[in-house]
Amino acid sequence: MEKDLKSTPAWKLDKFIQNHLLADTTFVTEAKADIEFLCDFLTERCFQDASHPVRVSRIVMGGCYDEYSMLKGRSEATLVVFFNNLTRFEDQLKRREELIEEIWKHLCQLQHEKQFKLKFEVQSSEQDNYSSLSIKLSSPQLQQEVEFDVQPAYDVLYELKEKLELDCEFYNKIYARLIRECITLRKEGEFSVCFMELQQKFLWNRPEDLRNLLVLVKHWYQLCKEKLGDSLPPQYALELLTVHAWENEIPAKYGAQTARGFQSVLELIIKYTCLRVYWTFYYDILHQDVSSYLHKQLRKERPVILDPADPTRNVAGLNIDGWCELAKEAEAWLKYPCFRHIDETFVGSWEVPPEKQGGVFL
């Protein structure tokens, strides 16, 4: 598939995405049905016999799990299980292992009920005293699979369900408390899963053309991961760079906009030592505690890519070597036919600055 993308000319990229990168519709339909069954099980049955009163308040999906985002072959997603008896961020830390073990025990039983349309597998591991749990839905016939990282979480946004519009005061209280607890616990970025639904809204309430570009960038990232290993920056960082590039797009005067957007993202990766990207859609920059914290975050060593739903999380991470490897790969890719017009000239990129321009923090 790497060779196919490299050799696909710029004007055929949109067709390439639709025909070769998106998951089979049959698999997506069956996966959705299995996910719905699984969510019902976790909500209604999983903790009925627990020794302590534990109830799932709701479940939120993140990542590649629908017809617009699931990649052909293998996709990764997140299943966040929110609990109504967790009342603060610290509870999530203290009870995480216990909740994962309880979910694992019941999912192993469910695995033998054979009520799934797809092959259902439960996987767990313990590395460096950190328990993890994942589930996989797969179709050997279609050579398609999606793996979900299962995360128990404190439902800090539960009240959001009752609100019909963005409530700045509501978010101010939550983010101020998040910042205080993260600093006290020294766990900045640890609770980003609590804000998964905001992350999803930020990424996917977008035009179809941007969703296609996100799929292309994720596919490219997976190719790099297969070649370079797991030491790369997180995929989410590249998704946010893609949104940043799109938001800085000059109104289309030329064709091959997908190729131009793709090139713009790779050029941002090459400039990783200059990256300072953030958004203030959910953060209230006029709130004293939030504003003060953001100033400190944005002064840190680059690359800085702040999670638009969690100001304590620098999605770019601290792995400079991983960024360096990814930048070398991006530089090599810019020479390939997928960035050329029919007359062999290069499509060029959008004029995207590596740092946010005109913001209140400049």
Q: What percent of the chain has pLDDT over 90?
A: 68
Environment class of residue 127 by beta-carbon count within 10 Å: exposed (0-12), middle (13-18) or buried (19+)?
exposed
pLDDT at 83 over 50: yes
3-state percent helix, strand, coil for the chain, nearest multiple of 5: 50, 20, 35
* Radius of gyration (C-alpha) of the chain in whole angstroms: 21
Q: How many helices (H) and strands (E) does the chain have?
A: 11, 8
Whether residue 15 lies inside any domain: the answer is yes
Q: Average pLDDT for residues 180-195, to the nearest whole number?
A: 96
Per-residue pLDDT band for 252 (boundaries 50, 70, 90) equals low
| Range of the structural domain that residue 116 is part of | 1-156
Q: Which residues of 251-277 are buried (b: 16+ CB within 10 A; e: fewer)?
A: eeeeebbbbbbbbbbbbbbbbbeebbb
Whether residue 165 lies inside any domain: the answer is no
pLDDT at 255 over 80: no
pLDDT tens string 27-60: 999 999 999 999 998 888 777 766 666 788 899 9
Sheet holding 119-127, edge to edge: 56-63, 74-83, 144-154, 130-139, 119-127
Whether residue 309 lies inside any domain: the answer is no
Whether the Cβ atoms of residue 108 and residue 59 lie closer than 8 Å to each other: no
pLDDT tens string 198-248: 999 999 888 888 999 999 999 999 999 999 998 999 999 999 999 999 998
3-state DSSP assignment of residue 134:
strand
pLDDT at 362 over 50: no
Whether residue 123 lies inside any domain: the answer is yes
- Counting the structural domains of the chain, the total is 1
**CATH code, 95:** 3.30.460.10
Whether the Cβ atoms of residue 184 and residue 88 lie closer than 8 Å to each other: no
For 127, residues 6+ apart whose C-beta sits below 8 A from its C-beta are none
**DSSP strand E in the chain: where?**
56-63, 74-83, 119-127, 130-139, 144-154, 276-277, 304-307, 310-314
Per-residue pLDDT, 358: 52
Cα 300 to Cα 304: distance, rounded to the nearest angstrom? 7
Whether residue 277 lies inside any domain: the answer is no
Whether residue 342 lies inside any domain: the answer is no
Cα 174 to Cα 154: distance, rounded to the nearest angstrom? 12
Neighbours of 75 (CB within 10 A): 23
Element at 100 (helix H, strand E): helix 89-111
Among 31-40, 253-262, 341-350, the minimum mean pLDDT is found in: 253-262
Whether residue 202 lies inside any domain: the answer is no
Mean per-residue pLDDT over the chain, rounded: 89
Whether the Cβ atoms of residue 118 and residue 31 lie closer than 8 Å to each other: yes
pLDDT tens string 275-327: 999 998 888 888 899 999 999 999 999 999 999 999 999 999 989 999 999 99
Cα 146 to Cα 71: distance, rounded to the nearest angstrom? 9
Whether the Cβ atoms of residue 349 and residue 264 lie closer than 8 Å to each other: yes
Residue type, 6: K
Whether the Cβ atoms of residue 142 and residue 30 lie closer than 8 Å to each other: no
- Residue 278, both tokens: 């953030």
Whether residue 226 lies inside any domain: the answer is no
